[in-house]
Amino acid sequence: MQTDQSNYPSNKAIGIGVIGGGYMGKRHSVAMQSVGALCNTKLRPVCEMICTTTKAGAALKAQQFGFKRSTDDWQVLVNDPAVEAIVIASPQETHLEICSAAFALGKPVLCEKPLGASHSDATKMTELATASKCINMVGFNYIRTPLTQYAKQLIEQGVIGDVTYFRGEHSEDFYADPKAPASWRTQGRANGTMGDLAPHMINAAIYLLGPIAKLCAQIDTVHATRPSQDKTQPAQAVTNDDQAQFICKFASGASGHLAFSRVASGRKMGLIYEITGTKGAIRFDQEDQNAIWLYQNDEPLAQQGFRKILSNQDHPDYGLFCEGPGHGTGYQDQLILEARDFLQAIETGSTQWPVFADGLATSKVVDAAWRSQENAAWVDV
């Protein structure tokens, strides 16, 4: 059963288990090693155990990332009494089973996005989280940048008036080269652009403007085949999508256009949004995450234009990392803020956005986009 998590004393240790030692497993591990000192959390993470697919690989990651122990069996990690909270950074096909086991033991879970391998998985995971009453969180980290948090404040304060239009994209170019070989990324719907990149921008749009009510989508596979990893073998069919887009209507009445691509030449981390309101507009580009652009209609004509604002101590969470304006924060810092929010949720026994239900809200939009593509029509979310 879940223990009372509302009265932890200061500097109490909490054992952390991380499942997955790849790109995101490393990021979460580094965040857990840093968050106590940087954010002065009451709960101080102890990196107790890491799990990867092989014993030797897990032992190596434990040594590299500073874990006490390692395993190649996630069930060993979940069931270990010293592991009190779990971070899931393994493929999305594993998320449902791991969450089910963790929640049955009353253990808090921070799960990487997307929440599940399908809308059905995400629904079941949210139901399990609700029934267990365990602390839960989804790893949407980009909305934690100081200036995206500030953009939300500007919207809520009415600085740009009533929002009428949102344009957002998440574009990268890691598969722009048609000669890039096939891999797990080119197989299965969950690993395509709608499963991989789209959830970040959809989550950001919901964070900034609220729910998406309906949409009309187009989803494409640009390169139907890719060379095999084994050059002696024939080319492999690509079974998922390279790029997608949809026009939409938010519940607030605002219109929107969202686009996603893994074949966008020149884009490395193109999470970009532009928000238009009746009194002004906001622009942001994650490739320049320490600047935001603000336009206000009431400026004199001679001074009208987008104004660049550099990140500084008056923006949310910036002061934790730096005391000087314009020095900036980076990608790893977003994961540290995510770890802080997870620990605070455990400490207080309360929720910290985004929880599994928010991950499900994103999954519903992705599911609606596929239904729209299949029916060539507008659909409700």
Same domain, 47 and 162: no
Alpha helices by DSSP H, listed for the chain, are 23-39, 55-65, 74-79, 95-104, 119-132, 146-156, 193-196, 198-209, 331-348, 356-375
- Residues 305 and 164 both lie in one domain: yes
Q: Per the domain annotation, does 245 fall within a domain?
A: yes
Average pLDDT, rounded, for the chain: 95
Q: What is the mean pLDDT of residues 34-55?
A: 97
- Same domain? For 133 and 185 the reply is no
The confidence score (pLDDT) of residue 343 equals 98
Q: What is the predicted pLDDT for the residue at 351? A: 87
Sign, Cα dihedral of 148, 35, 172, 189: negative
Q: At 134, which CATH number?
A: 3.40.50.720
Examine the domain organization and report whether 117 and 196 are in the same domain.
Answer: no
- The answer to whether position 352 is within a domain reads no
The answer to whether residues 131 and 152 belong to one domain is no
Quote the pLDDT of residue 209. 98
Please give the pLDDT value at position 307: 97
The percent of residues above 70 in pLDDT, for the chain, comes to: 98
So what's the pLDDT on residue 3?
A: 40
| 345 belongs to a structural domain | no
Answer yes or no: is 23 within a domain. Answer: yes
Task: Select from 142, 157, 176 the last residue of a domain.
Answer: 142
Say if residue 169 is in the same domain as residue 316: yes
Q: What is the DSSP string of 90-159?
A: S-GGGHHHHHHHHHHTT--EEEESSSSSSHHHHHHHHHHHHHHT--EEEE--GGGSHHHHHHHHHHHTTT
Arithmetic mean of pLDDT, 104-129: 96
Q: Is residue 335 part of a domain?
A: no
* Residues of the domain holding 70: 12-142
6 assigned to some structural domain: no
Give the model's pLDDT for residue 65: 97
Query: Is residue 361 pLDDT above 90, yes or no?
Result: yes
At residue 119, the pLDDT reads 94
Q: What is the CATH number of the domain that holds 265?
A: 3.30.360.10
**To 5 degrees, how large is the angle CA 188–CA 192–CA 197?**
150
Binned at pLDDT 50, 70 and 90, residue 1 comes out as very low
| Cis status, amide bond into 81, omega within 30 of 0 | no
Residues 150 and 77 in one domain: no
Q: In the listed set 142, 176, 194, which residue is the last one of a domain according to the structure?
A: 142
User: Is pLDDT above 50 for 176?
Assistant: yes
In a domain, residue 191? The reply is yes
26 and 103 share one domain: yes
Q: How many domains would you assign to the chain?
A: 2
Domain boundary residue among 120, 142, 164? 142
Q: Does the structure show a pLDDT above 50 at 302?
A: yes
- The answer to which of 10-14, 125-129, 170-174, 199-203 has the lowest mean pLDDT is 10-14
pLDDT in tens, 146-166: 999 999 999 999 999 999 999
Q: What is the full DSSP assignment across 237-277? A: EP-S-SEEEEEEEETTS-EEEEEEES--TT-SSEEEEEEEE
Residue 332 has pLDDT above 60, yes or no: yes
Q: Do 95 and 193 have their domain in common? A: no
Does one domain contain both 182 and 97?
Answer: no
Give me the percent of the chain exceeding a pLDDT of 90.
95
Examine the domain organization and report whether 236 and 297 are in the same domain.
yes
Q: Is pLDDT at 4 greater than 60 in this prediction? A: no
Q: Tell me: pLDDT of 66 over 80.
A: yes
Cβ contacts of 338 within 8 Å, gap of 6 or more:
31, 110, 137, 139, 141, 144
pLDDT given at position 11: 83
Residues 137 and 152 in one domain: no
* Distance of alpha carbon 232 from alpha carbon 128, whole angstroms: 46
What pLDDT is recorded for position 6?
A: 47
Position 9 scores a pLDDT of: 59
Q: What's the pLDDT at 185?
A: 94
pLDDT value at residue 8: 54
Residue 149 token pair: 């948090």
Instruction: Specify if 334 maps to a domain.
Output: no
pLDDT digits (tens, 9 = 90+) for 207-227: 999 999 999 999 999 999 999
Mean local confidence (pLDDT), 265-279: 97
